[in-house]
Structure 1
Amino acid sequence: MNKPLLAVLSSLALAGVGAAPAVAAPQAKAPRATVDFAGTVSLSNCSGSVIRFPNSADSDPALVMTNGHCLETGFPSPGEVITGQSSSRSFGLLNSSGSRIATLRANQVVYSTMTDTDVTIYRLTTTYAQIKSSYGINALTVSDSHPVAGTSIKVVSGYWKRTYSCSIDGFVYRLKEGDWTWKDSVRYTSSCNTIGGTSGSPVIDTASGKVVAVNNTGNEDGETCTENNPCEVDESGKVTVRQGINYAEETYTIPACFTTGNKLNLDASGCTLPKP
């Protein structure tokens, strides 16, 4: 895991005149989203982001997403799912340049697990509208579509105030690290060389500006399936170790589990997150 640190992320065809051939005008490039630190947060030991879902309302209590292994009460055990746990954790809200402009506070761990995925979602004491009005910051939207291999991404670490740029190299059937196993994980190309403290960083599609995953681990030493040295396991059980390669957990399944008012409903249609 990039675990918490103890000390130290219109095109038009133009017709020619007379017999001159038609010439295609240059294709205009699709606009790309601005990806910076706005909406990311720093935790005491990890990174995270203020998130919303496609059906979230401005009046809803805002949510913060980070990793399951960044939970303040310790790593959830394999098979453990935590919901509705009281919390008073604080987060440093960053602006576009990475400056801390406010402290946000949680009142609940809405959901946390390290089973199948590695995610914690906190509910804040403030709404999206209040954060926008007070600090000019919009939440990042979590995509509800499966990410695509080859997509250009940025991993934005609020802890380090550092951005990593690369692409999605592919997907891992099972990613195993120590006692934990994650499903359909994202593998980065090598230029996203994330480090400890980047855990929980949003992985942002640079074209859409939407969150497609949450950064969580990498193989540091070349060991096989040990802590800080995850291994890839395919459908046939074949194990592959990629030293120096880093990973994230997809987030597209999360929006289906939140209903009106940003309320968690693990029984909602389409929700596939592990249940307690």
Structure 2
Amino acid sequence: MNKPLVGACFAALLIGATAAPATAVGDQPSAKPKVKAVDLAGTVALSNCSGSIVRVPDSKPDDPALVLSNGHCLENGFPAPGEVIVDQPSSRSFTLLDGSGGELGSIKASKIAYGTMTDTDVSLYQTGSTYSEIESKYGIKALELNSAKPEQGRAITVASGYWKKLYKCSVDGFAYQLKEGNWTWKDSVRYTPDCKTIGGTSGSPVIDDETGKVVAVNNTGNESGEECTDNNPCEVDENGKVTVREGINYAQQTYWIVPCVGEGNKIDLSREGCELPKPSGVRGR
């Protein structure tokens, strides 16, 4: 994994333009509106990882803000295969950053709303601050989770709050299964080689450069060319064929979080369309 840097029980290191001249109507097709360049606004630094303040399309200004990171970044250590954590008290602090990486202040969790390393590698903290409170105090808006899957070839930015650094590349493709040690993740995003993420970038939002929305959460990379071992994930296709890509890094898609967030930003794993792994005894619809 692009591992947490401190306190990991697993290993030492886990990751204004000039206006165009006027033209007559019909001279050329309308240009796409420019999207503001992706920066670090809305990202957070954890004690050992990266993260971001996120919202879903239906989140309201007075909802408690959510912080997205990795399951392997949880303060109590890595969830076991098959383990799903919901509604666990937490008082973890996050350092909120502006666009250039300046530290604005801290926000604090009230609970771990969701966390797992099964099928995906994700954690969602509910904070004690609402989106409107954060925007009013710090001038920062939450990043929106895209409700659609990322597309192959799209330009993306991995925005690390821990390192206050942007990694830019494209979506190279998708791994049917990604295996690392005892864990297996489904339909993982594979980066082109430009995104050389490192320890501490774990939990960084992966942002689509065109839409500005979060499409994945950074989590791992093959460090030394080993096959399916800790810190050396391998890809497994539908037929069981194993592929090792040394030096290549990966993320977990986040579109499937969106159907699982209900009114008041509550994680509701029983909602229709929610496919996040569930604790035993919880059924989806």
Aligned to 2:189: 186
Match of 1:145 among 143, 148, 154: 148
One-letter identity of the residue aligned with 1:65: L
Q: Is the 8 A contact 1:33 1:208 kept in 2?
A: no
- The answer for unaligned runs of 5 or more in structure 2 is 7-11, 16-21, 280-285
Aligned to 1:4: 4
Match of 1:225 among 228, 235, 257: 228
Identity of aligned residues (%): 62
Aligned to 1:263: 266
Aligned to 1:243: 246
Cα RMSD, aligned residues only: 1.7
Using the TM superposition, give the Cα deviation of residue 26 of structure 1 relative to its aligned residue in structure 2, in angstroms: 6.5
What TM-score comes out, normalization by structure 1 length? Answer: 0.93
Judging changes above 3 Å, is the alpha-carbon distance between structure 1 residues 14 and 100 closer, same or farther for their aligned structure 2 residues? closer
Match of 1:88 among 87, 91, 96: 91
Using the TM superposition, give the Cα deviation of residue 32 of structure 1 relative to its aligned residue in structure 2, in angstroms: 2.2
Aligned to 1:20: none
1:259 and 1:138 map into 2 onto residues whose CA distance is 20
Aligned to 1:216: 219
1:199 maps to 2:202: yes
What TM-score comes out, normalization by structure 2 length? Answer: 0.91
Aligned to 1:19: none
Q: Which has the larger radius of gyration?
A: 1
- The answer for unaligned runs of 5 or more in structure 1 is 16-22
Q: Is the 8 A contact 1:67 1:199 kept in 2?
A: yes
1:71 maps to 2:89: no
Aligned to 2:103: 100
Using the TM superposition, give the Cα deviation of residue 121 of structure 1 relative to its aligned residue in structure 2, in angstroms: 0.3
Deviation by residue 1:24-46 (Cα, 9 ceiling, x = unmatched): 53652441233111100000000
1:215 and 1:104 map into 2 onto residues whose CA distance is 22
Aligned to 2:282: none
Question: Between Structure 1 and Structure 2, how many residues are aligned?
Answer: 267
Judging changes above 3 Å, is the alpha-carbon distance between structure 1 residues 133 and 219 closer, same or farther for their aligned structure 2 residues? same
**Moved segments of 4+, more than 2 Å:** 6-9, 12-15, 23-30
Q: Would you tell me which structure has more strand in proportion to its own residues?
A: 1
Deviation by residue 1:207-240 (Cα, 9 ceiling, x = unmatched): 0000000000000000000111000000000000
The SS at the match of 2:219 is strand
